[in-house]
Structure 1
Amino acid sequence: MFDYLIVGCGFAGSVLAERLASQLNKKVLIIDRRNHIAGNAYDYYNEHGILVHKYGPHIFHTNSKEIFMYLSRFTQWRPYEHHVLASVDGQLVPIPINLNTINALYNLDLDTSSVTDYLKSRSENISPVATAEDVVVNSVGKDLYEKFFKTYTKKQWDMDPSELDPSVTARVPARNNRDNRYFTDTYQSMPLHGYTAMFNNMLSHPNIQIMLNADFKDIKNSIPHKATIFTGPIDYFFDYCYGKLPYRSIDFAFETLETENFQACGTVNYPLTQLYTRITEFKKLTGQIHPKTTVVYEYPTDKGDPYYPIPKKENQSLYNRYRDLALSFPNVYFTGRLGTYKYYNMDQVIAQSLALFKKIASSDRLPLEGVTNGRLNHTVNGHNH
């Protein structure tokens, strides 16, 4: 008899498995339909000996000391600040848009104060802000919107920004300084030996058993357990009784090249004519030294694994019906991106799992160690992890 059956070996499930096993002495079975742990953060050494991320680049960043220290139990870190360039008008320019971006694109020599006035002169005053397009045009005007956002968003979501919720672009600010970093969080690092190694440490507790290549519906009635934590798609749990929740997915095309370096930084975005949205070079992220290099091209698609909940009101309404149905299952907890139909960064998923653990632990009336509520910002920020 297991105390908890946890469905999904990504961050949402693995953090809960570790906490329940180590802090509450619960017996946990964690399963995954894939043949590996670590969920979408899974990394491995390819046939050339290069460490790659199977499901696209995962860059860890957070402002939460508690979350950073929690993960530090299971990994050492390699300090890393992510930089992204965008291929626009024959140039590679920093994104998010900043002072350097604007000066390079328009052959200007603005400073911090004058770039603020420049953006203000080009921005529009759309009210109310109802769509992802409105957010950007209000911030930087039509020209920068069309160069950086319009086609990129269409490729990513297969919808025009005018059809999407404002949250899609609300977290991609324009900066009036020369900060070329993609993220500005206090803690920015990569697990020194990779994500999979970190998950191996997280799930190494003797109270945790792991079952891979296992579908929840195949085993749920044959393995005794007291409660379920479900991090898979909530609509799948309920047999799509109200219909399928729509997602976007990605086709990843990996290529290993006979050269030490391929591009100037970790990720280059292609917001205009190419079919792919971005190219990532893994050695830039991991710091690995190797005579060859591996890159991945990302092609958004509506087929394949569910990665990105599509932020539209009708989709949220459909999710809400499933969420309400879940209330009648008191021994099942739904969490994570797929369980709650929200796009979270990795640290937000961890915060959500720690908060759920605190809720479970307080009902057990046992003392807690190292638990944080975390702060969840329920936002969609394009597709950067």
Structure 2
Amino acid sequence: MHDWLIVGAGFAGSVLAERLATQRNETVLVIDKRDHIGGNAYDYHDAAGVLVHRYGPHIFHTNAAVVVEYLSRFTDWRPYEHRVLAQVDGQLVPIPINLDTVNRLYGLDLDPQGMEAFLAERREPVEEIKTSEDVVVSTVGRDLYEKFFQGYTRKQWGLDPSQLSRIVTARIPTRTNRDDRYFTDQFQQMPSDGYSAMFRRMLDHPNIHVELGTTWNETRDRPKARRLIFTGPIDEYFGHCYGHLPYRSLRFEHETRDLEWAQPVGVINFPQTEDYTRVTEYKHLTGQTHPKTSLTYEYPSPTGDPYYPIPREENQELYRKYRTAASRLDDVWFLGRLGTYQYLNMDQVVGQALATFDRINATRTPTAAARAAE
């Protein structure tokens, strides 16, 4: 009998396992249905010897010093500023939209003030911004919305932007300068040895036991711990008693090419053409030197492993039913992207896990309100 059972060996589960083992000297059993640790951030060397991410690109960026300090105990870092191009109207142009994007697409020579005037002429007033479409057309107008966002969103989510919460496109800025970085966070670096190496160090403790290829359903009827941390889909824990929470999945196609470089940047988006949404070339991200290169093509799917909670109000209403049920449980904690049904970046999951540990550590008998991680 362990002190804790943690379902899921990704960021949320691994951080809490490490904290509980090292800071409270408690025993932890971590299970994961996959054959590896690291969750969706898992990376490995493919047959050609190129370090790739099995589940698409994971770019680490954050403004949270506490997260950097914590993860730096388990990895060194290499600087990497992510840049993305989009294939639009037969050209590769920067995304997020910036000054160069507009000048190239429209054959203009605008300066920042000219671009602001250009956008101001095209913005559509929206009385109340509710949807992803509202966000974009009120910022850059209808033409850029259709070129960059409408088709990409339909592929990614299987829904029109007018059917999705504003949070989907509110994450993407528009710039009137030439800054072509995808992120502007103060800390933009990648684990120097990869994510999997970082997770192995995090879980390397005599109090932590890991069982891979083990599902929650196989374990729930054979209690192995006094308390539970659940990072899987919250509706799965409750047997979908209120209904299935909708998720969007992905299908990945990996290929290796016999050339040193295939793309000018790490990721190219395809909002207008192709069935896939983007193509990633990993050596840009990892800094690896290799005569060959490996790429991943991403195809959104309505079926498969749950990757993205679908941001619609009716889905949040359903989630709130599960959250209420979770708050009534003793010694069960839910967190992570699936456990709290929200789109979270890696640093946000780490921060959530560290905050959850602080709440656990504050009392041996946590209150119901504290247990439902937000």
Q: Secondary structure of the equivalent of 1:133? A: helix
Partner of 1:258: 258
**1:354 pairs with 2:354:** yes
**Structure 1 letter corresponding to 2:62:** T
TM-superposition CA deviations, 1:184-243 (whole Å, max 9, x none): 000011110110000000000111111111112212343431110000011110111111
Alpha-carbon distance, 1:279 to partner: 0.3
Alignment of 1:1-150 (within 5 A): 1-150=1-150
Partner of 1:231: 231
Q: Secondary structure of the equivalent of 1:260? A: coil
Q: Secondary structure of the equivalent of 1:78? A: strand
Alpha-carbon separation, structure 2, partners of 1:36 and 1:69: 25
Alpha-carbon separation, structure 1, partners of 2:330 and 2:127: 43
Q: Secondary structure of the equivalent of 2:328? A: coil
TM-superposition CA deviations, 1:70-126 (whole Å, max 9, x none): 100000111100000000111100000011111111111111222112111111111
Partner of 1:189: 189
Alpha-carbon distance, 1:9 to partner: 0.1
Alpha-carbon separation, structure 2, partners of 1:209 and 1:26: 11
Partner of 2:287: 287
Q: Secondary structure of the equivalent of 1:97? A: coil
Partner of 1:215: 215
Partner of 1:151: 151
**Structure 1 letter corresponding to 2:201:** N
Alpha-carbon separation, structure 1, partners of 2:197 and 2:65: 21
Alpha-carbon distance, 1:273 to partner: 2.1
Q: Secondary structure of the equivalent of 2:363? A: helix
Gaps of 5+ in 1: 366-375, 379-385
**Structure 1 letter corresponding to 2:17:** A
**Structure 2 letter corresponding to 1:10:** G
TM-superposition CA deviations, 1:278-310 (whole Å, max 9, x none): 000011111111111100110001011000000
Mean Cα displacement is larger for which, 113-122 or 335-344? 113-122
Q: Secondary structure of the equivalent of 2:178? A: coil
Partner of 2:269: 269
Alpha-carbon separation, structure 1, partners of 2:221 and 2:2: 13
- CA pair 360-163 structure 1, distance change in 2 beyond 3 A: same
Alpha-carbon separation, structure 2, partners of 1:254 and 1:105: 31
Alpha-carbon separation, structure 2, partners of 1:151 and 1:257: 28
**1:341 pairs with 2:347:** no
Mean Cα displacement is larger for which, 194-203 or 206-215? 206-215
Q: Secondary structure of the equivalent of 2:16? A: helix
Alpha-carbon separation, structure 2, partners of 1:254 and 1:75: 26
Q: Secondary structure of the equivalent of 1:6? A: strand
Partner of 1:169: 169
**Structure 2 letter corresponding to 1:237:** Y
Q: Cα RMSD between the aligned structures? A: 1.3
Alpha-carbon separation, structure 2, partners of 1:255 and 1:216: 32
**Structure 1 letter corresponding to 2:203:** L
Mean Cα displacement is larger for which, 123-132 or 32-41? 123-132
Alpha-carbon separation, structure 2, partners of 1:14 and 1:265: 31
Alpha-carbon separation, structure 2, partners of 1:136 and 1:271: 15
Alpha-carbon separation, structure 2, partners of 1:331 and 1:216: 16
Mean Cα displacement is larger for which, 318-327 or 4-13? 318-327
TM-superposition CA deviations, 1:144-191 (whole Å, max 9, x none): 000000000000001111111111111111111110000000001111
Alpha-carbon separation, structure 2, partners of 1:225 and 1:268: 45
Partner of 1:301: 301
TM-score computed with the length of structure 2 as normaliser: 0.96
Mean Cα displacement is larger for which, 117-126 or 331-340? 117-126
TM-superposition CA deviations, 1:253-277 (whole Å, max 9, x none): 1111111000110000000121110
TM-superposition CA deviations, 1:11-40 (whole Å, max 9, x none): 010001111111111111111011100000
**Structure 2 letter corresponding to 1:62:** T
Alpha-carbon separation, structure 1, partners of 2:155 and 2:64: 32
